[in-house]
Amino acid sequence: MNIFVRVAELASFTRAGDSLGLPKASVSGAVQQLETQLGTRLLHRTTRKVQLTQDGQIFYERCKDLLADMDELESLFQQTPAHISGRIRIDMPTAMARNLVIPRLPDFLASYPAVEVELSSTDRRVDLVREGFDCVVRVGQLGDSGLIARPLGQLRIINCVSPGYLEKFGDPQTLEELAEHHWLVHYVLTLGAKSSGWEYWGGQSYRNLPMKGPVTVNNADAYTQACLAGLGIIQGPEAGLRQYIEKGQLVEILKHFTAEPMPISLIYPNRRNLSKRVQVFMDWLARLVKEYAD
């Protein structure tokens, strides 16, 4: 049933095998066994795609409920950390994984030694259901996805430059200085798109100040590295930048002109019950984020 559900969600025997660590032949054989046992065809197979049949769709929905119930039953008596076991697959932004979660992960694994963590970190938005994630961390406004969202707070945004940049351009004190004499590292999701500029609180609402700057990037890691290289000012979550400030690699500036805080949330599938291992991981992650969120 687990194999069938992965094939249905990914619409591919090959991708399902990759996500489960099984060869394609084993995946195909397991689904064929299930169809023989049930006496019905669950999937339409062509050379280009795999689709659920009408019976397959009904069976898929029931499978999800049954597997969730089984997961809950398996963890029913796992009352101590040593007894909580199994794999957790989670996705989060690259900067958050590198700067906040991975350095603290040994503490979590020491508390829950039988848990295995598969950590994906990317700036793209993964498909939680199709790619088999237990939960994902999302920063920014959420769309209506039909998934469950657990708000973790608002991430404080700070303005940073490198010490070398300050020596070259000086420390801006006013918006006029900023617009006329300073560079911004521009961040866009798609290269070629127009940068929104530098964001600040204007007294009644948040505004954007157009700024010059020779470099535009499209991922968070390059954004930070450009700032470290002295290529301009950046605005980012304190959670990802605090370590560089503490080491003297970056300097916080314009503390009274900060951008709008960014909401951070945990997203997980709309299932009746979460396994104990996922619950404890999400609770642990929420405590980490609280240090940098309001």
Residues 170-186 have pLDDT tens digits of: 998 888 888 888 999 99
Mean pLDDT of 241-263: 91
Mean pLDDT of 131-142: 83
Q: Please give the pLDDT value at position 273.
A: 60
Across 43-57, 146-160, 264-278, least confident range:
264-278
pLDDT surpassing 90 at residue 221 = no
Is residue 91 within 8 Å of residue 70, measured between CB atoms? no
Q: Please give the pLDDT value at position 275.
A: 78
Q: Please give the pLDDT value at position 76.
A: 62
Q: pTM higher than 0.75, yes or no?
A: no
pLDDT surpassing 80 at residue 124 = no
Q: What is the mean pLDDT of the chain?
A: 86
Which of 208, 211, 241, 196 has its CA nearest to residue 223? 241
Q: Please give the pLDDT value at position 248.
A: 95
Write down all domains in the chain, each with its CATH number in brackets: 2-75 (1.10.10.10), 81-153+262-290 (3.40.190.10), 157-253 (3.40.190.10)
Polymer length of the chain: 294
| DSSP percent split of the chain into helix, strand, coil, nearest 5 | 40, 25, 35
Helices 13-20, 2-10: inter-axial angle, 10-degree rounding: 130
- Tokens representing 152 are 């973790």
